[in-house]
Amino acid sequence: MVIRICDDIVYREVDGSIVTLSLTSGEYVGLDAVGSHIWRLIEQDGRKESIRRGLLAEFDLDDQACDEELDGFLSMLTAKGLVTIDGSRLRTQGSG
């Protein structure tokens, strides 16, 4: 599984956290420290397994908790139109 940041998303680090802006919808999304860490891992290597390994190395998580948290976060990013997963961009109707 490969996760990529969408082309119409711009982002910056502000006080250690990532803030994103969709150029299409104008929607801002601010990420907390863990979300910002995941975003940086997506930038480095969008393969889900690489992201998972990075989270397990950085945080005190067991495998199951890591998988659940990562899957939930990736679902949120996808629903908000911030990332694609294996080329599929899903966006919740009515958002933005």
Counting Cβ atoms within 10 Å, is residue 70 exposed (0-12), middle (13-18) or buried (19+)?
A: buried
**12 belongs to a structural domain:** yes
Per-residue pLDDT, 95: 41
* Cα within 13 Å of Cα(93), Cβ side: 0
Per-residue pLDDT of the chain (96 residues; tens, 9 = 90+): 899 999 999 999 999 999 999 999 999 999 999 999 999 999 999 999 999 999 999 999 999 999 999 999 999 999 999 999 986 555 443 444
Per-residue pLDDT, 96: 40
**47 belongs to a structural domain:** yes
Instruction: Say how many domains are in the chain.
Output: 1
**10 belongs to a structural domain:** yes
Integer Cα distance of 88 and 24 in angstroms? 17
**23 belongs to a structural domain:** yes
**88 belongs to a structural domain:** no
Per-residue pLDDT, 93: 38
**95 belongs to a structural domain:** no
Q: How would you label 4-39 residue by residue, b for 16+ Cβ within 10 Å and e otherwise?
A: ebbeebebeeeeeebebbbeeeeeebebeeebbbbb
**89 belongs to a structural domain:** no
